[in-house]
C-alpha cells in the first residue's frame, strides 16, 4: 500500500508502551484536502491524525503508528479515557456542508484497504473499529449519519450481528430481570455501557442520554429505522449478545 509521506505533523508524543487496540474514523469538516493537511500539520492547532484520506483515495501518512497522535480529544471507550494512547486515527476529507460532501468510491476503497492492513498488523478486532461519535457522543458527530458503515460491514471489516432466536432474546431479558432492571431505558443504558459507550452521566441527564442514543442510531440503524424505539431496543440487544459472544 502506497502512502504520501512528504507531509508530517509535529503534533504527537509517546504512547508509553500502550498497545494499539482501536481505530477511530473521523471527518475533517474542512473545505478540502489541502486545508486538512495544513490544519493537521500546524503546530499551533495541536491536533493530528495518523492518516488522512482524500476524495480521490490518496492516503497521507502524517504521524507514524508508533506515536500517539492527537485526534480523539476528550473521549471514552470501555472505561478508558486516554483513547489517543491506544488508537490509530484516520481522517477523511469530508465536510457535510462543503463541496467535498461525498464518501467517494475511491475514498472508501482506500479506507477499506488501510483498515484491513491495520487490523492485521495490530490484531484489532471488528468491534474495535469506531467512529469519533462512538467515543465522544456528547460533542462529536463524525464520521456522520451518512457514513457508509454497511460498506465496511459487507467487506467484513466491522462486526456483523447474528440475528437472535427467541430463546436468545429470553436469555438477555432474564439476565436484565436478574439485574433488577425493569425500565427499558435502564436496560438500554446498561447494554450501551457493556458495549463500551460512556454512560456515566446519562441516567439523570436527558440531554446527554438523547445525544448518546442519537450517536448509536446514526451508527447502527438505517435512515428509516432511526426513530423507531422498538428497533433501537432490538438492535441493542442483538448487538450486546453478539458482542459478548465475540469479546476476547
What ranges in the chain are assigned the alpha helix state H? 33-40, 105-122, 132-135, 149-154, 166-178, 184-195, 206-220, 229-246
Among 51, 39, 201, 70, which residue's Cα sits nearest to residue 111? 51
Q: Which 3 state secondary structure label does DSSP give 88?
A: strand
Phi, psi angle pair for 131, to nearest 5°? -95, 160
Catalytic residue among 44, 91, 173, 174: 91
Is 224 noted as a catalytic residue in this protein?
Answer: no
The tally of CA atoms less than 13 A away on the side-chain side of residue 234 is 12
Sheet of 87-92, strand order? 59-61, 51-53, 87-92, 22-27, 129-131
d(CA 107, CA 94): 10
- Residue owning grid cell 488508537: 87
Beta bridge partners of 88: 23
CA angle at 57 for the pair 91 and 98, rounded to the nearest 5°: 60
How many CB atoms are closer than 10 A to CB 128?
A: 22
Q: Which 3 state secondary structure label does DSSP give 58?
A: coil
Number of residues written out for the chain: 248
| Cβ burial, residue 17 (10 Å; 0-12/13-18/19+) | exposed
Residues involved in catalysis: 91
Amino acid at each position: 500500500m502506497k502512502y504520501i509521506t512528504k507531509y508530517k505533523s509535529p503534533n504527537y508524543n509517546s504512547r508509553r508502551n500502550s498497545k494499539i487496540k482501536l481505530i477511530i474514523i473521523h471527518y475533517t469538516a474542512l473545505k478540502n484536502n489541502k486545508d486538512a493537511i495544513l490544519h493537521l500539520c500546524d503546530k499551533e492547532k495541536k491536533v493530528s491524525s495518523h492518516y488522512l484520506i482524500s476524495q480521490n483515495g490518496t492516503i497521507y501518512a502524517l504521524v507514524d503508528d508508533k506515536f500517539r497522535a492527537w485526534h480523539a480529544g476528550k473521549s471514552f471507550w470501555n472505561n478508558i479515557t486516554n483513547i489517543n494512547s491506544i488508537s490509530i486515527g484516520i481522517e477523511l476529507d469530508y465536510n457535510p456542508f462543503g463541496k467535498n460532501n461525498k464518501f467517494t468510491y475511491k475514498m472508501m476503497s482506500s479506507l477499506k484497504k488501510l483498515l484491513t492492513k491495520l487490523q492485521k498488523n495490530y490484531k484489532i478486532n471488528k468491534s474495535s473499529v469506531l467512529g469519533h461519535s462512538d467515543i465522544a457522543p456528547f460533542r462529536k458527530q463524525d464520521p456522520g449519519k451518512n457514513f457508509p458503515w454497511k460498506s465496511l460491514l459487507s467487506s467484513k471489516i466491522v462486526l456483523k450481528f447474528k440475528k437472535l432466536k427467541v430463546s436468545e432474546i429470553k436469555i438477555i431479558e432474564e439476565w436484565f430481570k436478574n439485574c433488577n432492571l425493569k425500565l427499558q431505558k435502564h436496560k438500554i443504558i446498561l447494554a450501551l455501557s457493556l458495549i463500551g459507550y460512556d454512560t456515566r452521566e446519562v441516567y439523570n441527564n436527558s440531554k446527554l442520554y438523547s445525544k448518546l442514543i442519537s450517536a448509536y442510531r446514526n451508527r447502527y440503524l438505517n435512515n428509516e429505522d432511526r426513530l423507531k424505539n422498538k428497533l433501537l431496543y432490538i438492535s441493542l440487544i442483538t448487538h450486546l449478545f453478539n458482542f459478548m459472544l465475540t469479546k476476547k
